[in-house]
């Protein structure tokens, strides 16, 4: 997906927190569910942090985006990655493993956001150096609350490395 033309690439001008240089926080959302994309971007839009969200819908696109390949040559380097495990073409598990073994990408925090609460998935994610594992709630209000909690912790409490 070319993020420049994507309806899911958005910048929210929330005014409380941004990078030291005034630029918005860059978030890469790797998610194939249109409903979850909409809910996540809505929650981030209404948050405290000025952010730019780029969305890719499968694991192959995620790696092309992160490696700035093809139409993603000018893609921003994300400050945070929100990654679903169950993706087409290349699973989130494979994407996580590639990110965390790549010297240029491994310091980017990866938050797993998935429907799976399987203990094997949780253990595998942490064994591959996921920074956080969150099971997506089914309830709409709880889902939005979880996204806002992720935003609050990772973008206002935690000190992220420079992109």
Higher-pLDDT residue of 116 and 150 is 116
What is the model's pLDDT at position 149? Answer: 82
Q: How many residues does the chain have?
A: 163
Over range 125-154, report the average pLDDT. Answer: 86
Q: What is the dihedral of CA 115, 121, 122, 123, to 10 degrees?
A: 180
Question: Mean per-residue pLDDT for 51-66?
Answer: 94
Quote the pLDDT of residue 94.
Answer: 96
CA atoms of 50 and 13, how far apart (whole Å): 5
pTM: 0.83
Q: Which domains does the chain have, with CATH numbers?
A: 22-152 (3.40.50.2300)
- Greater pLDDT, 115 or 13: 115
Kindly state the average pLDDT of the residues 53-76: 94
d(C-alpha 58, C-alpha 71), whole Å: 15
Q: Quick one: pLDDT band at residue 160, thresholds 50, 70, 90?
A: low
What confidence tier does 11 reach under pLDDT thresholds 50, 70, 90?
very low
CA distances (Å), origin 60, targets 9, 25, 53, 69, 87: 18, 23, 18, 11, 9
The model's pLDDT over 25-45, given as tens digits with 9 standing for 90+, comes to 899 999 999 999 998 888 888
Q: What integer is the mean pLDDT of 68-80?
A: 93
pLDDT higher at 24 or 74: 74
pLDDT at 8: 46
Model confidence at 118: pLDDT above 90: yes
């Amino acid at each position: 997906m070319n993020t420049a033309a994507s309806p899911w690439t958005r910048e929210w001008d929330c005014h409380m927190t941004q990078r030291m240089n005034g630029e918005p926080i860059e978030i890469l959302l790797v998610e194939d569910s249109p409903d979850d994309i909409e809910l996540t971007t809505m929650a981030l839009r209404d948050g405290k942090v000025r952010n730019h969200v780029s969305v890719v819908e499968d694991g192959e696109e995620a790696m092309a985006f992160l490696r700035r390949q093809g139409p993603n040559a000018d893609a921003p380097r994300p400050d945070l990655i929100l990654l679903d495990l169950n993706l087409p073409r290349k699973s989130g598990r494979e994407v996580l493993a590639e990110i965390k073994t790549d010297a240029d990408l491994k310091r980017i925090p990866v938050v797993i956001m998935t429907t799976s609460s399987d203990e094997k998935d949780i253990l595998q994610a942490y064994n591959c150096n996921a920074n956080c594992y969150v099971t997506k709630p089914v309830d709409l209000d709880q889902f939005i609350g979880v996204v806002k909690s992720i935003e609050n912790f990772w973008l206002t409490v935690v000190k992220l490395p420079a992109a």
